[in-house]
Amino acid sequence: MKKLGFGFMRLPLLDKNDHSSIDIEKTKTLVDEYIKRGFNYFDTGYGYHGEKSEEALNRCVVSRYPRDSVIIADKMPTIRVKSAEDYPVLFANQLKRCGVEYFDYYLLHNIWEKSFRESEEYGAFDFVKEKMNEGRIRRFGFSFHDRPELLDEVLTKHPEVEFVQLQLNYIDWENPGVMSRRCAEVCKKHGKPIIVMEPNKAGSLINLPDEAERLLREYAPDEPNVSWSMRFAASQENVFMVLSGMNDIAQVKENTQIMDDPKPLCAEEYEIIDKVCKIISKSVAIPCTKCRYCTEVCPAGIPIPEYFAAYNTYHMTGNMGNAGMYYRRYAYVFPPASKCLKCRQCIPSCPQHLDIPSLLGDAVSLFEE
């Protein structure tokens, strides 16, 4: 299987202010080009594009290509499940919207602390097993946005899970809010293959600071930035699929060319990426180096570097959805930034001389108000 999946979450729109107004005719041309170039993995989700993505996938892919020539992945919207009775209703609706009899890949969408406890309570894993026995699901996994410790717990409790979908890209590899590397290591420990989401961090690894751009150009004058991020994702051990939300024909051509036979990054290229990460980090809103000296002295137990990472993510991407999600994940388990006592005990411990309580106040304004 080729490693590039077509994500149906950033499709072309007829009206840029209406996320549900998918341009079906344009999407068909993108799908045709992608398939013509030898790729066939499509990823959708119940809530994508105001609940119109699954139907678009039906109209652009399922109804136009033989079912066994394409691979369809869909996700149970855990956020909408309030009782065990919701699973069969949502699942039946998904089959109908997609126009399929079965899903090749099926995921519990967005597993984190809260959704995992609820999925356990409502019997999500048993429901999926039942659907696998009925032949409605071929392979089962979940998408994950939380701490590696939780990932380890889920995979230990559920060895039947066959794969994991992770946010993985070079800037989040060591990001303390996302921890791509550590999550990938947990997958490796459990022998689970990985599907990558957000390889370009919502496009932010395509528009890089000038200094970073220069470094990449010096090494490989003709290689676009997107190639570096896609190849980084594809180069990681256990990764068998890299998703990209494509919305114009140039992107489809470029991504399929890169991912036709992605060249693994060499040692020198990893060194360049390391330098690029440092440059990006210099340009971030809060220059926290994640040394964690502050958390050792904080009497309130606030996960300070994680909240700063979420804040920086927002400032880097302009995307509140992703940054806010990571903030809430931590604030669900640990005290939120608003619980800072303003005792200032952390300040002398910070080698970056950050005014931590004041910056936590900025995080409160951004994420809690």
d(CA 266, CA 8): 31
Q: What type of residue sits at position 25?
A: E
Torsions phi, psi of 107, nearest 5? -125, 145
The nearest distance, CB 329 to ligand SF4, in angstroms, is 18
Would you count residue 291 as binding ligand SF4 (CB under 6 A)? yes
* CB-nearer residue toward ligand SF4: 65 or 293: 293
Find the DSSP H helices in the chain: 24-36, 48-51, 53-57, 86-98, 113-122, 124-133, 148-157, 180-189, 210-219, 225-235, 249-260, 267-282, 293-297, 304-317, 320-333, 356-367
DSSP class of residue 247 equals -
Report, in Å, the least distance between residue 294 CB and ligand SF4: 3
Query: How many residues at the interface with ligand SF4, by CB under 6 A?
Result: 29
Residues from 304 through 363 that contact ligand SF4 (CB under 6 A):
304-305, 340-346, 349-352, 354, 356-357, 360
The DSSP bridge partners found for residue 143 are: 165
Say how far apart CA 128 and CA 141 lie, in whole Å. 10
278 binds ligand SF4 (CB under 6 A): no
Neighbours of 264 (CB within 10 A): 10
**Contact pick of 10, 19, 37, 292 for ligand SF4 (by CB under 6 A):** 292
Nearest to ligand SF4 of 79, 341 (CB atom)? 341
* CB nearer to ligand SF4: pick between 21 and 345: 345
- For residue 137, the minimal CB distance to ligand SF4 (Å) is 42
CB of 273 to ligand SF4, least distance (A): 22
- Tokens 């470029």 locate to 254
Q: Pick the closer one to ligand SF4 by CB: 266 or 297.
A: 297
Q: Distance between CA atoms of 269 and 357, rounded to whole angstroms?
A: 38
H helices, E strands: number in the chain: 16, 8
By C-beta, is 121 or 355 nearer to ligand SF4? 355
DSSP summary character for residue 239: E
CB of 286 to ligand SF4, least distance (A): 8
- Minimum distance from residue 176 beta carbon to ligand SF4 (Å): 8
Per CB under 6 A, the segment of 121-129, 155-163, 262-270, 298-306 that binds ligand SF4 is 298-306
- CA-CA distance, 244 to 97, in Å (whole number)? 22
Of residues 62, 242, 259, 294, which one binds ligand SF4 by CB under 6 A?
Answer: 294
Among 300, 319, 338, 364, binds ligand SF4 (CB under 6 A): 300
Residue among 18, 67, 88, 11 nearest 44 (CA): 11
Helix (H/G/I), strand (E/B), else coil: 170: coil
Pick between residue 57 and residue 356 the one whose CB is nearest to ligand SF4: 356
Q: Which stretch binds ligand SF4 (CB under 6 A): 35-43, 142-150, 268-276, 293-301?
A: 293-301
Residues 6 or more apart whose Cβ sits within 8 Å of residue 258:
4, 226, 227, 230, 231
**Closer residue to ligand SF4 (CB): 247 or 338:** 338
Restricted to residues 50-79, the positions that interact with ligand SF4 (CB under 6 A) are: none
Shortest spacing between CB 337 and ligand SF4, in angstroms: 8
Q: How far apart are CA 181 and CA 25, in angstroms?
A: 39
Residue 191, SS3?
coil
194: how many CB neighbours lie within 10 A of its CB? 25
Compute the least distance from the CB of residue 362 to ligand SF4, in Å: 13
CB of 173 to ligand SF4, least distance (A): 17
Give the interface with ligand SF4 as residue ranges (CB under 6 A): 288-294, 297-300, 302, 304-305, 340-346, 349-352, 354, 356-357, 360
